[in-house]
Amino acid sequence: MPSASPQSRPYPAFRWPARVLAVLLTVLACLGWAGVSLAQPDINKKKILYLNSYHNGYAWSDQILQGLRDALDKSTLPYDLQIEYMDSKRFYGTSMSDTLATLYREKYQGVTFDVLIASDDNAYQFLLEHQPSLFPETPVVFCGVNDYDPATLRGHSNFTGVVETTDISANLQLAHRLSPEITRVIVVSDMSLTGQAIRKQVQRAAARVSKLFAFEYWEVHTLPELLEKTDALSPSDMIFLIPIYLGSGKQVFSVEEVCEIVSRRSPVPIYSAWQFMLGHGIVGGKLHSGQGEGQIAGNMALRILSGESPANIPVVDKFDDPYLFDYLALKRFKIPEDALPLGSTLINEPLTFYTINKQVVWVGLVGFFLLVFILVLLITSIVQKRSVELQIKNQLSFLHILMDTIPLPLSYKGVDGSFLGCNLAFEKWFGVARGDLLKNLQHPLARRHDAAERHLLRVPGVLSYETDMQDSAGATHGVIVSKATYLSAKGEVAGVVEAIQDITLRREAEKALRRSQAMLRTVLDNIPQLVYWKDRDLNFMGVNRSFVDFFGLDNAQSIVGRRVGAIMPLEASDSAEKVNRRVLASGHSVHRREWTIELPGRDPVTLEMTVVPLHDETGEIMGILGTAEDVTAKLSLERQLLQSQKMEAIGALAGGIAHDFNNILTSIINSTELALMDLAEDSETAQDMERSLKAARRGSRLVQQILAFSRPSQQGFAPTDMAEVVHEALAIFAATLPRNITLSENIQVNPAIAFADPTQVHQIVMNICANAFQAMRDTGGHLALELVEADLDETHAEMVNVQPGRYLRLAVSDSGPGIPPDIMDRIFDPFFTTKAKGEGTGLGLAVVHGIVKSHRGGLRVASQPGKGTTFEIYLPKQGDFDASFPRALIAAKAAARRGDERILFVEDDADQLTVIPRVLSLLGYEVTAVSGAQEALDAVTALPGAFDVVVTDFDMPALSGVELAQRIEDIAPNLPVILVSGRRSALTAAQHAGNIRTVLLKPYNGEELAGAIGLLLDENQA
């Protein structure tokens, strides 16, 4: 067995005062530290993986394992030892190493070991290659390694261990002394990694004794091969046997079996350097012990598990191996015992019988029993003393482990300020060693004797305070320092215990939390939606700035802890809390629910609400979070959009009807006028025809009203003083009012200039006032008209569907019963009326809507049942109106002109194609009538100078009248064109053709057409 000194424990064995444990636990209680319970010391077992190069039953590695267990069992540290056998004596090679690596990767995936122990060369080489990938950063302790090269550990700072260094040269020199006749040494080995490593050691030792022996090296593969070679040895030879496994047929023999078989057959002595081979045929020598290596490796592992770095534990490669010999082998080869080294140990030595004088024996026995009795008394006393000492040592050992397990830096001082003890965390924090610090009054830390310690030495107790402190690297940490007085066994103040708790991360977390809360508050206070959150009792826990502004609160804190009833009427608050309670009960969110509320002194507001449950860390509902968005303006815009789209569709329909009706009326009027030319003026038939003509013209005016709704004209637009027009219209209307209806006028802008048609503005006032009169006719009331200037920003402009800018606002308000909400969206529909049959056409407000839109203005209606109605008209002030808007071209009224010019008349309506040319022919014109654009183009192309003017319809198949005019301009640039149409959109379209000089709207008669032709021809002649 090796006599290498055992490794020392990592803690100094100094005595601690008896009350330190109690004071320490008091400090930990102040810190709120959940310490390790005295009743549960084994709560965390250390995981150790022992990697054995060979197999179970191999004596050498079994001895190492036994030594390892002996060292670990002597420690109080709980451990869990996992053993893996690589069996490399029988299976070795690169492929086997890779196979084992794959096996261990799968087997220990997710398992973390505290330390790895490698036994012999194969395990050592395996971990050098695979430890970074299999067990990254896990410390490694090796043992039984032959032919060790320190260079192999470069880059492996977490490796340390025991080198299997045997004194081979000493054994060879001993063999020479015991058997001087031996001149040749036969070294027997195999091809295994360990065998090759030991062979290198033998070769180095052989160089030192080369003058004494000649060396021959056998690498054998089978036992028969070795036995055959052994038979040929001479008396001047000896065998140095390296531990090998050999096979014979299908059998494999262990090192001990090989040694026994060869020794029985060999005529020469066998030497080796390992204890486990003694007793199996070798002579003996200075023999190395596997159990001793295991104990040293186990002590190294314990130091690592206690927190010491492997880099600080040096590799052990020196041993004081004992001299051991086999008595039977010595006698076989006639080696005298007196030639053995002093202190040698023999095995298998027979017992020796000595004849002793009986009197001496009895005296010796009596003395022996007397000594035994005295010894028993002494042992009893010593056992009792040691029992007490053991209890004290156990307590101190537990206290050492407890303190070093605690991650807080802990220390305690005497009354003079010198440190009497500290834990590992304290050493690491301040970068000091206990040996330099303890009982050293000159150490800088010992002079750190602050006012808190001086106070505690005077007044025993406990103090805690927060401060900043630097660690060994110079980094500043925020810490909580807790200090307490501890007393001696006599109850006197013995010193101060100190604990340091690093709160740097907590401070940073608190700062991050404050920043996060500030950011959240900034985000919440800068979003337009109303945000609030409540507890399970529906009391407000917080609101954002938009919520405060919406409800007119002083600040966000003024609503915390209160219910919604504090800011809303009872009916509204009950409705809100009903939704909140449903979310709390079901755990399901309510999304985008529209809710209309009326707050005192404010118009009704529509909110779009979303309410979601709030969960705590356990998943339980702890309250609700709600958001609300004021969508009143959005809903108003949506209604306006729908109304606009509806009016556009109705307008298109009305325009189409008006166009077709105009064609019919044109034919009726002109046909009737032609018929009247052939009748006597006083005939009844002529009178009937006059009545028909009068009805046709009445229908024409109705069509003009429809067109005013669908495509209002800008014919009469000019800078207009709205104040004058409104005052004039109101004066006319006032004369028709009964006495139960009063009238007030408030015109604040004078002059109020707008680019408008005065007649159409006059019609707006009359139509709206007429509606108000109808509403108050039975009950009476008040009619108020107001004209003011208004600057509309983007928000207000959107609400009335106009561009931002300066406007004139004409407001007409009545105190009538109001407009029912269910018909509010239909009041501008053509022919919709609530009047009795015969009291109205239903076109009044529809025409108002069309006129306002043609003026690029806006219209808004506000009405509450029982509280009256207000119509607001917004018209752009002069300067804000877009002057580039296309002006309409239209024929001026003129008397019919007779002539003989040549006219090309283009019309797809068969009736007009027959009637109009007759009318013009009666006036003297030469008319060429064609029914389509292509025929007209062919006529102009054939004779470009054959016509003085072209009269064409706007709506025709294939080519429109404007497109025909453009084609004619390419052929005959100087040929003027008159465009006729029942659609007012033709006024704008006509501007795309430069040769269209006049636009004549249907229905028209022959005189109007002749007048337009005459004006055009006269202008050309001028």
- Domain span at 451: 400-503
Q: Is 828 among the domain residues?
A: yes
Determine the average pLDDT of the residues in 181-205.
88
Taken in order 66, 72, 78, 79, the sign of the CA dihedral is negative
pTM: 0.35
Which one of 861, 876, 891 terminates a domain? 876
What CA–CA distance (Å, rounded) separates 944 from 679?
40
Residue 512: other Cβ atoms inside 10 A = 10
> Do residues 421 and 438 make contact, with C-beta atoms less than 8 angstroms apart?
yes
Which one of 120, 147, 163 terminates a domain? 163
Q: Is 641 among the domain residues?
A: no
Q: Is 3 helix (H, G, I), strand (E, B) or coil?
A: coil
Q: Is 293 among the domain residues?
A: no
Do 236 and 155 have their domain in common?
A: no
Q: Is 68 among the domain residues?
A: yes
CATH at 406? 3.30.450.20
Confidence class of residue 24 from pLDDT cuts 50, 70 and 90?
A: very low
Do 872 and 740 have their domain in common?
A: yes
> Do residues 818 and 861 make contact, with C-beta atoms less than 8 angstroms apart?
no
CA 1000 to chain centre: 69
Confidence class of residue 42 from pLDDT cuts 50, 70 and 90?
A: very low
Confidence class of residue 724 from pLDDT cuts 50, 70 and 90?
A: confident
Do 208 and 152 have their domain in common?
A: no
Do 152 and 235 have their domain in common?
A: no
CA count, 13 A, side-chain hemisphere, 142:
26
Name the least confident of 137-141, 265-269, 822-826: 822-826
Predicted pLDDT at 2: 38
Which neighbouring-strand residues pair with 869? Answer: 814, 863
Residues 289-307: pLDDT tens digits? 888 889 999 999 999 999 9
What CA–CA distance (Å, rounded) separates 627 from 609?
6
Which neighbouring-strand residues pair with 979? Answer: 952, 999
Confidence class of residue 449 from pLDDT cuts 50, 70 and 90?
A: low
**Is pLDDT larger for residue 951 or for residue 752?**
951
Predicted pLDDT at 659: 62
**Is pLDDT larger for residue 32 or for residue 625?**
625
Do 153 and 175 have their domain in common?
A: no
Do 178 and 254 have their domain in common?
A: yes
Do 734 and 838 have their domain in common?
A: yes
Determine the average pLDDT of the residues in 833-862.
73
Residues 930-974: pLDDT tens digits? 988 899 899 888 888 889 999 998 888 888 889 989 898 898 888
Do 205 and 341 have their domain in common?
A: yes
Q: Is 647 among the domain residues?
A: no
Do 150 and 173 have their domain in common?
A: no
Predicted pLDDT at 676: 65
Do 199 and 263 have their domain in common?
A: yes
CATH at 830? 3.30.565.10
What CA–CA distance (Å, rounded) separates 610 from 590?
5
Q: Is 354 among the domain residues?
A: no
Phi and psi angles of residue 454, each rounded to the nearest 5 degrees, phi first: -60, -40
Q: What distances in angstroms separate CA 264 from CA 230, 282, 349, 1005, one per listed residue?
A: 11, 10, 19, 150
Number of domains in the chain: 6
Which one of 876, 892, 921 terminates a domain? 876
Average pLDDT, the chain: 81
Determine the average pLDDT of the residues in 57-61.
83
Residues near 872 by beta carbon (within 8 Å), at least 6 away in sequence: 800, 809, 810, 811, 859, 860, 861, 862
Residues 370-412: pLDDT tens digits? 999 999 998 888 888 888 888 888 888 888 888 888 888 988 8
The listed range with the strongest mean pLDDT (17-31, 144-158, 261-275, 849-863) is 261-275
Residues near 576 by beta carbon (within 8 Å), at least 6 away in sequence: 564, 568, 595
Name the least confident of 109-118, 120-129, 207-216, 715-724: 715-724
Confidence class of residue 891 from pLDDT cuts 50, 70 and 90?
A: very low
Burial class (CB in 10 A: 0-12, 13-18, 19+), 908: middle
Do 725 and 857 have their domain in common?
A: yes
Which neighbouring-strand residues pair with 612? Answer: 625
Categorise residue 120: left if φ over 0, alpha if ψ from -120 to 50, beta otherwise: left
> Do residues 818 and 867 make contact, with C-beta atoms less than 8 angstroms apart?
yes
Q: Is 487 among the domain residues?
A: yes
Categorise residue 604: left if φ over 0, alpha if ψ from -120 to 50, beta otherwise: beta
What CA–CA distance (Å, rounded) separates 785 from 729?
11
Predicted pLDDT at 532: 85
Do 406 and 498 have their domain in common?
A: yes
CATH at 278? 3.40.50.2300
DSSP per position, 849-881: HHHHHHTT-EEEEEEETTTEEEEEEEEEBTTTS
Residues 493-545: pLDDT tens digits? 889 998 988 888 888 888 888 888 788 778 777 788 888 888 888 888 888 88
Q: What is the 3-state secondary structure (H, E, C) of 884-921?
A: CCCCCCCCCCCCCCCCCCEEEEECCCHHHHHHHHHHHH
Q: Is 489 among the domain residues?
A: yes
Characterize 926-947 residue by residue with b for buried, 16 or more Cβ atoms within 10 angstroms of its Cβ, and e for exposed: ebbbbbbbeebbebbeeeeeeb
Residue 652: other Cβ atoms inside 10 A = 12
What CA–CA distance (Å, rounded) separates 750 from 901?
52
